[in-house]
Amino acid sequence: MFFVRAFERACPFVQAASIPNDCASKGLGAVRTATKRAGGTIANHGGSPGKRLGVKKFSDEFVVPGNIIVRQRGTVFHPSDNVKMGRDHTIFATIPGYVRFYKEKYMRGERKYVGVVRVKGEVLPRDVAERGRDRFFGLANLRTQVEDSATPV
């Protein structure tokens, strides 16, 4: 009640009857109501465009040197034979051939690998003991005749 009397002295043009009893008894003055509705928040703001990541060339597709096979953040796919990885983890072909995907056991899980083979039916990982080396000193000899006795997939 003390607050109501102090309020009347401070604001003589507002009468005590205009203040609700329950608010006045708690020491609250006038009750303010919202003039605008609550807007809330937006989750992603839609601010940045997509980065167009993912697999660009699929299995058995023909690629030429420099063709991007996979665009990725981090190493979801690891490079295998006849491909290299760029500094943004993009995997690209280094020789003309056909794309191959395969998995290998790594520690307790599996790793996904991407490679390029010159013969369409060849399988990765390449059996070096049976088929011989494909690259010498980091280079592939593209002028040699490729044998057609590759095992089909």
Does 37 fall in a domain? no
List, for residues 70-96, the tens digit of each pLDDT value: 999 999 999 999 999 999 999 999 999
**118 within some domain:** yes
80/21 same-domain check: no
Residue 48 covered by a domain:
no
pLDDT, tens digit (0-9, with 9 covering 90-100), for 36-50: 777 777 776 777 889
**Structural domain count, the chain:** 2
Phi/psi region, residue 137 (left: phi>0; alpha: psi -120 to 50; beta: rest), is left
Q: Work out whether strand 77-79 and strand 109-117 pair parallel, antiparallel, or are unpaired.
A: parallel
For the domain that residue 103 is a member of, what is the CATH number? 2.40.50.100
Counting other chains too, the contacts that 96-102 makes at CB distance below 8 Å and 24 or more residues apart are 96/62, 96/63, 96/64, 96/65, 96/142, 97/62, 97/63, 98/60, 98/61, 98/62, 98/63, 98/122, 99/57, 99/58, 99/59, 99/60, 99/61, 99/63, 99/69, 100/59, 100/124, 101/59, 101/77
8 with 76, same domain: the answer is: no
My answer on whether 18 and 93 are in the same domain is no
Is residue 79, in this structure, part of any structural domain at all? yes
pLDDT cut 70: percent of the chain above it: 75
Residue-number span of the structural domain to which 115 is assigned: 54-139
144 in a structural domain: no
The predicted-structure confidence for 48-66, as pLDDT tens digits, reads as follows 889 999 999 999 999 999 9
**Residues 15, 59 within the same domain:** no
Question: Closest Cα to residue 72, out of 47, 44, 53?
Answer: 53
pLDDT tens for each residue of 121-152: 899 988 878 877 777 777 777 777 665 555 55
The reported pTM is 0.63
Residues 60, 134, single domain; the answer is yes
